[in-house]
């Protein structure tokens, strides 16, 4: 008998728009009927292997599994795992795949989740690999955009901050490029511009319109979405560069003066200084509800990968 194919989520482009739309549909259904889902994963175990810091991604996955009636185990820092003794990712995964039914992992090395899925006979979910990808943050972002704007097409999306190292930006661009009539305004200092490979392989290849600027105000009045990001301190080689760039953008109420009334302000969080807390009370600020939506879309994803009806 042929071995059953195991489903993993390593990169967002593994999902078609139809699969994404289905996940959004299930997440919306969970929001309306949570009770229908509370025993769906009885007896199942989710392992969270976090080799890098996290608050939202790890806890929202744990919350998602617990709300589905399943259980969770894992570690939240590499130093408390056998990685500190020199164990390879491949070996850790081979072992944990005997302890759980599904694994969520975050790792500082780009490509580590790909190595993991070659060594696992249970589903692996990439919860962030270095400055590369973060597909489940993107699913969270897509659910947020869908709920807050009512559509995933016909949008002008401003992405602001660290577009070079920000993995959430890379995955979001990849996903949104599959929808109709999307325009990107890429707002960053020159040193933190979007990597060339993403411009070429995704934007130019799919003929997606984009503009690069370092001025957050220049296109403010045109934006439907403003996606702010933190300068990714942990990816810098040089502390002086980080200090010089970290407060390059600080979004405050004055800067929103010309913005649309139905602008949707998003941020994957954690926020450092890039959005003033005075913006939090603006009805256009959606970043805390965005974090909450992360639980429901992750519930939908767990159900899909575990093939629970
Ligand atoms: C993001 C990440 O880890 O890439 N955080 C998250 O998962 N919500 C963004 C960030 O750390 O800046």
Q: What sign for the dihedral angle of Cα 306, 270, 184, 235? A: negative
Q: Name the residue with the closest Cα to ligand 1, atom 11.
A: 270
Residue 270, Cβ density class (10 Å: 0-12 exposed, 13-18 middle, ≥19 buried): exposed
Distance 162 CA to ligand 1 centre (A): 12
| CA–CA distance, 307 with 293 (Å, rounded to integer) | 21
Position in ligand 1 atom list of the atom nearest CA 232? 12
User: What is the CA angle 37-42-43, rounded to 5?
Assistant: 160
At residue 1, the pLDDT reads 57
Contact indicator for 203, 184 with CB cutoff of 8 Å: yes
At residue 251, the pLDDT reads 98
Domains of the chain: 12-133+293-305 (3.40.50.1370), 136-291 (3.40.50.1370)
57 lines ligand 1 (CB under 6 A): yes
Query: What is the pairing mode between strands 155-160 and 225-228?
Result: parallel
Distance 23 CA to ligand 1 centre (A): 21
Phi, psi of 66 (to 5 degrees): -65, -40
Closest CA to 163 of 185, 195, 137: 195
pTM over 0.95: yes
268 lines ligand 1 (CB under 6 A): yes
Distance 270 CA to ligand 1 centre (A): 6
- DSSP class of residue 225 equals E
Q: Is 240 helix (H, G, I), strand (E, B) or coil?
A: helix
Phi, psi of 182 (to 5 degrees): -105, 135
Position in ligand 1 atom list of the atom nearest CA 294? 8
Closest CA to 131 of 99, 84, 164: 164
Closest CA to 286 of 225, 213, 215, 219: 225
Q: Name the residue with the closest Cα to ligand 1, atom 7.
A: 57
User: Terminus-to-terminus CA distance in the chain, angstroms?
Assistant: 24
Tens-digit pLDDT profile for the chain (309 aa)?
Answer: 566 788 999 999 999 999 999 999 999 999 999 999 999 999 999 999 999 999 999 999 999 999 999 999 999 999 888 888 899 999 999 999 999 999 999 999 999 999 999 999 999 999 999 999 999 999 999 999 999 999 999 999 999 999 999 999 999 999 999 999 999 999 999 999 999 999 999 999 999 999 999 999 999 999 999 999 999 999 998 999 999 999 999 999 999 999 999 999 999 999 999 999 999 999 999 999 999 999 999 999 999 999 998
Contact indicator for 186, 194 with CB cutoff of 8 Å: yes
Q: Name the residue with the closest Cα to ligand 1, atom 8.
A: 268
At residue 309, the pLDDT reads 86
138 lines ligand 1 (CB under 6 A): no
- DSSP class of residue 76 equals S
97 lines ligand 1 (CB under 6 A): no
137 lines ligand 1 (CB under 6 A): yes
Contact indicator for 90, 111 with CB cutoff of 8 Å: no
Residues, the chain, total? 309
Position in ligand 1 atom list of the atom nearest CA 162? 12
131 lines ligand 1 (CB under 6 A): no
């Amino acid at each position: 008998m042929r071995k059953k194919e195991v489903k993993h989520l390593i990169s967002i482009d593994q999902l078609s728009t139809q699969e994404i739309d289905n996940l959004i549909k299930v997440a919306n259904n969970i929001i309306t009927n949570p009770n229908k889902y509370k025993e769906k994963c009885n007896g199942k175990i989710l392992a969270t292997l976090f080799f890098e810091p996290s608050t939202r991604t790890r806890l929202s996955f744990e919350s998602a599994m617990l709300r589905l009636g399943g259980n969770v185990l894992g570690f939240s820092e590499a130093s408390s795992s056998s990685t500190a003794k020199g164990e390879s990712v491949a070996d850790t995964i081979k072992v944990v795949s005997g302890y759980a039914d599904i694994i969520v992992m975050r790792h500082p090395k780009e490509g580590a989740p790909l190595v993991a899925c070659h060594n696992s006979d249970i589903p692996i979910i990439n919860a962030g690999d270095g400055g590369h990808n973060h597909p489940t943050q993107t699913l969270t972002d897509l659910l947020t955009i869908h709920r807050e704007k009512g559509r995933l097409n016909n949008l002008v999306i401003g992405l602001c901050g660290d577009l070079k190292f920000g993995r959430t930006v890379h995955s979001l661009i990849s996903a949104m490029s599959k929808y109709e009539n999307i325009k990107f305004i890429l707002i960053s200092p020159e040193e933190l511009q979007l990597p060339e490979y993403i411009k070429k392989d995704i934007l130019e290849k799919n003929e997606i319109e984009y503009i690069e600027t370092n001025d957050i105000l220049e296109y403010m009045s045109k934006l439907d979405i403003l996606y702010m990001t933190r300068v990714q301190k942990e990816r810098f080689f040089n502390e002086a560069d980080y200090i010089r760039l970290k407060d390059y953008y600080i979004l405050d109420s004055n800067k929103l003066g010309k913005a649309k009334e139905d602008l949707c302000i998003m941020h994957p969080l954690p926020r450092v200084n890039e959005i003033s807390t005075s913006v939090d009370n603006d009805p256009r600020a959606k970043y805390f509800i965005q974090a909450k939506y992360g639980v429901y879309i992750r519930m939908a994803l767990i159900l899909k990968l575990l093939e629970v009806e």
